[in-house]
A and B are shown apart, each in its own frame.
Chain A
Amino acid sequence: MFPLHMTGIAEVLVTVVIGFWFGFVLEQAGFGDCRNLAAQFYLSDMRVLKVMFSAIVTAMLLVFAGSAIGWIDFEQIFVPPTYLAASVAGGLALGVGFIIGGYCPGTSLVSSATLKLDGVAFAIGVATGMFLFGLTSPYVEEFWTVTGALGRLTIFDWLGLDAGPIVLGVFLMAVGAFAAAEWAERRFRWAKPPVPGATNSPVVLRAFATAGLILALVAVVIGQPDAERKIALQKARLDAAIQSRKVFIDPAELLDLMYNNQVDRILLDVRSESDYNLFHLKDAIHTTIDEIDRFWRPRLTAEQVVVVMSNDERDAIEAWKHLAISRNMNAYILAGGVNRWCDVYFAGNLNVPGPEFGSQGDEHFRYAEAFTKLRQCPTGAVPVGLNIPGSPGANIDVSRPDEKLVSLRQFTPKIHLLKAVKAPGGGCGG
């Protein structure tokens, strides 16, 4: 599944080649000549709008149609985070710079590469402007980083819709804008740029429009995959991880993790609320699969260790799948669930199976009765059935037993700390 994440020399080569064609196409589009670009604002040559919008629409259609059919993981595609105030201020400054200077940073590089001295002057101006922004950035930091900061936010998420209708809408809007542009060019002829572009070929335009409409309809009709479809698409990978038991961790490893203050850990408890209220691990958060889809998956990152638990394993596995469909997720399952945890740290049975062995339980909380009784005991009473070697009769906290108890059990460590695999970002200004 795309996108690929390349590193080292492969990333460098691919980036240079992409940059090459980026520069090549910009130059062939006529964007190395400021007069072609400025003409956009005098309506006599709408090349900027035509090239930019057909590029945006082409990439948009391919990305969202590809995501709909499951070839692209849109969560892994870099979406520039939204900072509303900074976007408004920066956008206005770019508009001013455009009408005065006639280029944008990318086109000034292309212009410089074709030895246009005004392009070079513009690029030096860009560098100077960035330097000036840096000098003033301490004073505008709050406006720059906080005001209207909404994180990764797409138009369709903002409106609470599927991507499909927005994709179709943008496509149709672009077609309308192209028609208006053709009309404007016929109407306003006061600054015809010196070198014309090739004329429109009706056959080619009709082919583009048809292909675009088909892709837009694919995005609308199939829709972006929800969690269930993503699980189906990634079935092989998820099942392999479960079969090999490499995502199941022993209670002792979890206890070790709970005392490890170097690791950002999240414990998610997907049992019924009544079981959770009766007993849960310290700092475990009660949640549901629905909440995992809406809240947790978009927020958790690979740097956090997530442990999902249910009474046995069946429900936890299901919840784990809803996390693991996101590739930037370091999620594990408590082997044997809360029942096995209580076998070890409540009943004191240290010989329960290790993480390589699953449990076929029916998600019934076997210690429900014991904890109900315990609740009725006065504070400080000895928990029933407790038999921990080395601490006979001690009133230990079953929700997070003493750190020393970690060493009572042998286990194969399964948790690996990961580094988030991230798209390198749009690159501009950061």
Chain B
Amino acid sequence: MANEPTPKDDAVKQYWNPYVAGVALGTVLFLAFLLTGSGLGASGGIARVVVQVLKVVAPSVVDRNPYFAPMGGGFANPLNNHIVWMVLGVLLGGFISGLISGRTRLEIYHGPRVRPAQRLVLAFIGGAFMGWGAAMARGCTSGQALSGGAVLSLGSWVFMIMIFAAGYALAYPFRRFWL
């Protein structure tokens, strides 16, 4: 489980150069616009899984809720949406990429001063903030910041600036998590 010292074996390949990766990502995003008219997304897929689970457990909650109802109210199937297929593709692409680069292996990434168990709790809490925020902002870094930013949506740029502003504002108080 320990991930330090980080694996240095030859099987782990180097990451792509960030600019090359960025241009590749931008090309994928552009192709998404060309072929589907929309950009990329991720959080929508997670949201729809949440709604699907709720629909089984407590359908009346879904029907009456301003956030859940548009995705799965009434007879609507929350999983019947292109974003769910995209998330499946993301999982597959990430898995294959990690596999051929020697990075698909069971482990926990964490800062040098954070124990693995603590890291899992922190990841869960951070994820909860982000899930709330992505629902509030109608999109995450993929759907809003990346896709909306590329088509110069005003709200997406405001959103992106706010992410960086909050991140940098809290970087010092939370430095123990990462340094």
Contact = CB atoms under 8 A, between A and B. Distances in A.
Interface of A: 2-6, 11-12, 14-30, 32-36, 38-42, 46-47, 50-60, 62-63, 72, 74, 76-84, 86-119, 121-135, 137-138, 140-141, 144-145, 150, 152-156, 158, 163, 166-167, 170, 178, 190-191, 194-201, 204-205, 208, 422-430
A52 B145 contact: yes
Given A72-B34, A98-B163, A154 B151 contact: yes
Contacts of B105: 114-115
Given A109-B94, A426-B147, A95 B169 contact: yes
Contact of B141 (A28, A30, A104, A135): A104
B106 A430 contact: no
| A-B pairs, 8 with minimum CB distance | A101-B126, A125-B127, A19-B89, A95-B166, A129-B131, A90-B137, A58-B26, A91-B162
A34 B86 contact: no
A16 B88 CA distance: 7
B123 interface: yes
Given A59-B26, A427-B42, 16 more contacts: A28-B15, A51-B21, A94-B129, A99-B170, A101-B123, A109-B46, A121-B121, A122-B130, A134-B68, A137-B66, A190-B179, A422-B37, A426-B143, A427-B45, A429-B134, A429-B137
B23 A54 contact: yes
Interface in B130-166: 130-166
B174 interface: yes
A196 B15 contact: yes
B27 A58 contact: yes
B165 A79 contact: no
Contact of A116 (B37, B108, B155): B108
A86 B70 contact: no
B95 A60 contact: no
Contact of B86 (A98, A205, A427): A427
Interface string B80-107: 0111011111111111111001011111
B2 interface: no
Contacts of A135: 65
A50 B34 contact: no
Contacts of A118: 108-110, 119-120, 123
A124 B127 contact: yes
A427 B15 contact: no
B76 interface: no
Interface of B: 6, 12, 14-47, 49-50, 54, 65-68, 70-71, 81-83, 85-98, 101, 103-111, 116, 119-171, 174-175, 177-179
A55 B29 contact: yes
B33 to A, nearest CB: 6
B23 A97 contact: no
A58 B22 CA distance: 8
A426 B133 contact: no
Nearest to A137: B67
B93 A20 contact: yes
Contacts of B162: 87-88, 90-92, 94-95
B133 A195 contact: no
A378 B111 CA distance: 90
B108 A133 contact: no
A197 B18 contact: yes
Q: Which of A34, A141, A196 counts the most B-chain CB atoms under 10 A from its CB?
A: A34
A58 B148 contact: no
A203 to B, nearest CB: 12
B65 A29 contact: no
B26 A426 contact: no
Contact of A86 (B104, B109, B111, B136): B136
Given A90-B134, A116-B109, A20 B152 contact: no
